[in-house]
Each structure stands twice: as structure tokens, then as C-alpha cells.
Amino acid sequence: MKSPLSHLNARGEAHMVDVSEKAVTSRSATAEGFVTMAPATLDMILDGTAPKGDVLATARIAGIMGAKKTSELIPLCHPLALSKVTVDFEPDRDNACLRVEATAKVDGKTGVEMEALTAVTVACLTLYDMCKAVDRAMGFTGIRLIEKTGGRSGTFRAR
């Protein structure tokens, strides 16, 4: 019996799925996540001038570089020649959090959901690292895929 989990074979063993018969199509994926923190930590990131630039710039670069490492980090991911990666931040002072959104694109045989999610999580980790000296209680929440397009399974949009 074939497992419904595509990364396992009939014996339940892990393998890197054969995608050689799949068509090369244009695919994209967007993921999001939220870094929760003390209001004063958010102020520190957003206010002032120089620090703001470098905290967010560092997290953005880390997220983009992280997306390129996806197939090294996730055991059964296929290596992909990404054609685009963006990472954006949106502060939410009311909820004392920073929203992270990442989009990845590829022309390939498999999707880029993992690349978008990896970009978000590495950006979150970097924000934690940059600010942990003042706020060790920061956390990450609501990390999820919000949209993907392309490929056999078509478009997905989170509700």
C-alpha cells in the first residue's frame, strides 16, 4: 500500500521522491510568521535610525540566504534553482509583534513552499538573536504557508 505521505515508500521508509516525470512549471509560495516581543523591544527595533536598519536588514539577508539552504536543511527536499526570494517585515505595535512574510519563486518540478517557510523561520531566528540580550521571552507564532501557485496541485490559499 502506497503511503499517503509522499516522502515515504511502501515500507514506510524515507526517500527523495522521483520528480523526473513532472513538468517544469512556474511556481511560487508565500509564507508568514509573527515574532512576539515586549513592546519596548519592538520600539527598540523600530525607533531610532541606524539600529533599525541593521536589525531588519540582517534578518532579511538571513532569511534570503536561509531560503537558499532549504535543501541542505530539510532532508528530503530537492535542490532548486530559486528565481526570486523576498522577505518583508511589518510591525504591529498594537500586538507588540513583527510580521514576517517571505515569497519564493522557481521554474521547476517541485514547489517552493519549504523555501518560503524556511526564509520566514530563519528571519525569525535572526530577529531573536539580534534582540535576545534585551528580551529572552520573544517567541514565534502563526508560522504557516499563506499561498502557493503552480504545479499539479494548483493554487492553495490559507483560510
What type of residue is 26?
S
Query: Does residue number 15 form part of the binding site for a copy of itself (CB under 8 A)?
Result: yes
User: Closer CB to a copy of itself, residue 94 or residue 152?
Assistant: 152
Least gap, CB of 7 to a copy of itself (angstroms) = 5
C-alpha cell at 45: 527595533
d(Cα 5, Cα 106) in Å, to the nearest integer?
Answer: 23
- Which residues ranging from 126 to 155 are in contact with a copy of itself (CB under 8 A)? 126, 128-134, 136-145, 148
Report whether 30 contacts 103 (CB < 8 A).
yes
Q: Is 129 considered catalytic here? A: yes
User: Closer CB to a copy of itself, residue 39 or residue 79?
Assistant: 79
Q: Which residues of 87-117 are buried (b: 16+ CB within 10 A; e: fewer)?
A: bebeeeeeebbbbbbbbbbbebbbbbbbbbb
Query: Does residue number 14 form part of the binding site for a copy of itself (CB under 8 A)?
Result: yes
- Which residues ranging from 88 to 107 are in contact with a copy of itself (CB under 8 A)? 88, 105-107
Annotation: binding site for substrate: 76-78, 114-115
Please identify every residue annotated as catalytic.
129
